Structure 1
Amino acid sequence: MAEAKVELKAVYPVPAKVKAAAHIKGKEAYEKLYKRSIEDPNGFWGDIADEYVTWFKKWDKVEDYNFDIRKGPVYIKYFEGGKLNVSYNCLDRHLEKKGNQVAIQWEGNEPGEDMGLTYKDLHEKVCKFANVLKAQGIKKGDRVVLYLPMIPELAIAMLACTRIGAIHGIVFGGFSSDALRDRIQNSEAKLLVVCDGTFRGAKAIPQKTSADEALKTCPSVEKMIVVNRVGDKIKCDWTEGRDLWWNDEMAKVDANCEPEW
């Protein structure tokens, strides 16, 4: 049987529609940008930062570095002295023009389990969870650990932390209680966000039980907020005064939360 011949081309033209919407229109434009980035890195990266990021306070210096160990420790710094808010840049600045566009499209464990969140939807949920965190005493500089599977609440919790200036650490949802414990102890986190459980195929896998075990030797954690993911498919132990359901706490707060700069 003769093999079909495939004609290979060295260059494939970019469709006009794609080219028209591209940030860089062609090889010549790319080379011009690259040349400037090498010859004038401060001006190049300063312009990029001005165009794509909203700043509460502009930086004092675009870049600073030392690669010579004879002059001291090696370091790289960018935009030192600048102040911004990640939540504001991811959400607020897009609301006017893109508020009704999809920001997150999530597909769950089973076919048909999906969710689309617009920028407006996501902004509202992020602001509400930021207020939940504040209601539990979390403030700028406090540490929060997120021990969640790949669900929308993970992105919501992460952006909520950035909105109020809390430092978040994401721990892979499949890690053991020992691995979770070590990360909580190292960060001295005050609050943990977890699921009651998660799914592996059709099977419900406990997750809060690992968190409960980890917290036996994590005295820094004052509250655990629990996302109801699997419902009554598994047993979920509860510690009164510490454990709080995500949905219950979200229902208590409003959707107005100014970003922390």
Structure 2
Amino acid sequence: MDMTKVPSRSGSHNVEDLEVLREGFDWEEVKKDFSWYKTGKVNAAYETIDRHAENPDKKDQVALLYSAPDREERLTFEQLSKQSNKTANMFKKYGIQKGDRVFLFMPRSPEFYANFFGILKVGGDCWTFI
């Protein structure tokens, strides 16, 4: 990936001052931001994509930046959520359900990630050959 093509976003760093963050950091407070704190279950697709897609301030932010010699693509949280929902519905249609192992044999691409998260959304165990 040619990093010169990725513009920096001035003033929007995740961490402005690491020392200040460390001083007031508390894992117990951070855990409350995740659904497993309330449900006792881990939903990786929700935590990494869907909760951001549901947030009006984050849904249009780039979730996936893909760069290959023949293709460049950016997907927002909302776009990746919708694509992974489509693949989840496809997997359901073919009978994939919680606990089923699904192997993906494809290159890393936007389609790979849509399939990966779609498998997680139906409760499948995703295994990759990449």
Q: SS of the residue aligned with 2:127?
A: strand
The Cα of 1:22 is off from its aligned counterpart by 4.7
The Cα of 1:149 is off from its aligned counterpart by 0.9
Q: Deviations over 1:65-105 (max 9, x none)?
A: xxxxxxxxxxxxxxxxx213111122221122222222212
Q: What CA distance in whole angstroms lies between the structure 2 residues aligned with 1:124 and 1:142?
A: 22
Aligned ranges 1:154-169 → 2 under 5 Å: 154-169=112-127
Of 20, 36, 42, 1:55 maps to: 36
Matched, 1:25 2:24: no
Answer 1 or 2: which has greater strand percent. Answer: 1
Of 53, 65, 73, 1:115 maps to: 73
Matched, 1:104 2:67: no
The Cα of 1:170 is off from its aligned counterpart by 1.1
Aligned ranges 1:212-227 → 2 under 5 Å: none
Of 46, 49, 64, 1:91 maps to: 49
TM-score, scaled to structure 1: 0.41
Q: SS of the residue aligned with 1:116?
A: strand
Matched, 1:137 2:118: no
CA contact (8 A) 1:106 1:151 kept: yes
Where structure 1 has 5 or more consecutive residues not aligned to the other structure, the ranges are 1-15, 34-43, 59-81, 173-261
CA contact (8 A) 2:99 2:125 kept: yes
Where structure 2 has 5 or more consecutive residues not aligned to the other structure, the ranges are 1-9
Q: Which has the higher contact order (CA 8 A, sep 6+)?
A: 2
CA contact (8 A) 1:57 1:84 kept: no
One-letter code of the match for 1:103?
A
The Cα of 1:136 is off from its aligned counterpart by 0.6
The Cα of 1:125 is off from its aligned counterpart by 0.8
Residue equivalent to 1:66:
none
Q: What CA distance in whole angstroms lies between the structure 1 residues aligned with 2:68 and 2:87?
A: 21
Say if 1:28 and 1:124 are closer, same or farther in 2 by CA, change over 3 A.
Answer: closer
Q: What CA distance in whole angstroms lies between the structure 1 residues aligned with 2:37 and 2:22?
A: 30
Q: What CA distance in whole angstroms lies between the structure 1 residues aligned with 2:75 and 2:88?
A: 17
Larger radius of gyration: 1
Say if 1:91 and 1:31 are closer, same or farther in 2 by CA, change over 3 A.
Answer: closer
Q: What CA distance in whole angstroms lies between the structure 1 residues aligned with 2:126 and 2:47?
A: 17
